Structure 1
Amino acid sequence: MPLLVEVLGIILNAFVMLIIIQFVIGLLFAFNVINQSNQFAAQVYNSINALLEPILRPVRSILPNTGAIDFSPLVLIIGLQILMAVVRSV
């Protein structure tokens, strides 16, 4: 059982890292630090977005529309941390 908890923790931490990377690249695109015509950055962003979109879509449908600010990654990170705390306590 402890091995399963550790493996689940590694997977959840990987998802949190991907969410943070997606957020940072999105900010860099939004503030024109990185041009969207940069193929490498765009490809990394699109790949991470393709992985996370099925997970973020239900969270976005629950949250109210806040305009340009997307709080779904933050809510997902908090939810994953709560899930990990529950799993570790069992």
Structure 2
Amino acid sequence: MAMQGLAVLIDILVMITQVLVMLIIVQFLIGLAFAFNVVSPSNEFLRQVYDSIDRLLTPVLRPIRNIMPNTGAIDFSPLVLILGLQILIRVLDGIQRSY
């Protein structure tokens, strides 16, 4: 019974990490659309979506940004977070398979 509870907990953590990865990708794509004028930065709907995702991700990305060296205009912290989340998913998957 405890093993089943652990499996459910691991599944929930995997889903949360997958949602975070999707949010990072969506924010990146909207940022690119703004940067290359594919979509006007004054588009209120996309600006709200971008700002909302930014408010969700900033607390997670801030510690990574504090550790990483300043690379100028390119922010690699989302990539580092995605890699870390993917490693977490693999570790959790390995734990789940071992039980």
Shorter-normalised TM range? over 0.9
Q: Quick one: distance in 1 between partners of 2:24 and 2:62?
A: 13
TM-score (norm: length of structure 1): 0.96
Q: Which has the higher contact order (CA 8 A, sep 6+)?
A: 2
Q: Quick one: distance in 2 between partners of 1:77 and 1:87?
A: 15
1:34 partner SS: coil
Q: Quick one: distance in 2 between partners of 1:30 and 1:65?
A: 20
- Distance apart, 1:86 and its partner CA: 1.1
Residue 46 of structure 1 corresponds to 51
Q: Quick one: distance in 1 between partners of 2:74 and 2:47?
A: 20
Q: Quick one: distance in 2 between partners of 1:62 and 1:35?
A: 33
- Distance apart, 1:40 and its partner CA: 0.2
Give the gaps of 5 or more residues in structure 1.
none
Q: How many residues align?
A: 90
In the alignment, is residue 4 of structure 1 matched against residue 18 of structure 2? no
- CA distances 1:33-88 after superposition (whole Å, capped 9, x unpaired): 11111000000000000000000111111111111111110000000011111112
Q: Which 4+ residue blocks in structure 1 deviate beyond 6 angstroms?
A: none
Give the gaps of 5 or more residues in structure 2.
1-5
Percentage identity across aligned positions? Answer: 60
In the alignment, is residue 70 of structure 1 matched against residue 79 of structure 2? no
Letter in 2 for 1:56: L
TM-score (norm: length of structure 2): 0.87
